């Protein structure tokens, strides 16, 4: 069984495109920090980068609600693609075809990152509505 689960942050805004057959696909990259490993020079955690493709309605939702920096959980099969870099070296890319994408960043997190704005919430009513105050001396325990 080839099923990968990753949790990480988007490295750039997702890109939505349509195939020649009219099917929508959204591409984005997720950076997943490695636990307990840090780069000695920058004190930053080491990360692995996964290219993700989400198809059809899932891809449309990803393009609509995700943005650079947002935290996501992606589940799906992984494959490795090798390619020649411009400097002539052979490189590998980890690619995930998303079966499921969970959006883990809250709307408040999105505002802090310059993302979409949450609608203003109405003022909360006091929690005492419908309750009667009781003196603790009257409680049997």
Q: What is the CATH number of the domain that holds 92?
A: 2.40.50.140
Q: How far is CA 91 from CA 11, 64, 80, 86, 94, in A?
A: 19, 31, 10, 10, 10
**Helices (DSSP H) in 36-140: which residue ranges?**
56-65, 107-112
More confident call, 53 vs 111:
53
Instruction: Give yes or no for residue 26 having a pLDDT over 80.
Output: yes
Q: For residues 59-72, give the mean pLDDT.
A: 94
Residue 88 lies inside a defined structural domain of this protein? yes
pLDDT of residue 105: 82
Residue 130's contacts (CB-CB under 8 Å, 6 or more residues apart) are none
Residue 80 lies inside a defined structural domain of this protein? yes
Residue 11 lies inside a defined structural domain of this protein? yes
pLDDT of residue 129: 56
8 Å CB contact between 8 and 68: no
Reported as a pLDDT band with limits 50, 70 and 90, residue 120 is very low
Domains identified in the chain, total number: 1
pLDDT of residue 28: 96
Residue 118 lies inside a defined structural domain of this protein? no
Q: How far is CA 3 from CA 8, 18, 20, in A?
A: 16, 25, 28
Q: Domain containing 10: what range?
A: 4-112
Reported as a pLDDT band with limits 50, 70 and 90, residue 42 is low
């Amino acid at each position: 069984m080839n099923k990968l689960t990753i949790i990480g942050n988007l490295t750039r805004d997702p890109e939505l495109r349509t195939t020649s057959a009219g099917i929508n696909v959204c591409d984005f990259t997720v950076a997943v920090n490695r636990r307990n490993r840090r780069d000695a020079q920058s004190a930053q955690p080491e990360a692995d980068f996964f290219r993700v493709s989400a198809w059809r309605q899932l891809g449309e939702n990803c393009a609509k609600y995700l943005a650079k920096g947002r935290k996501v959980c992606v589940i799906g099969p992984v494959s490795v693609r090798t390619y020649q870099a411009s400097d002539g070296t052979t490189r590998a890319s980890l690619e995930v075809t998303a079966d499921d994408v969970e959006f883990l960043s809250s709307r408040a997190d999105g505002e802090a990152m310059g993302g979409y704005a949450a609608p203003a919430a109405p003022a909360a009513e006091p929690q005492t509505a419908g309750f009667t105050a009781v003196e603790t001396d009257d409680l049997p325990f």
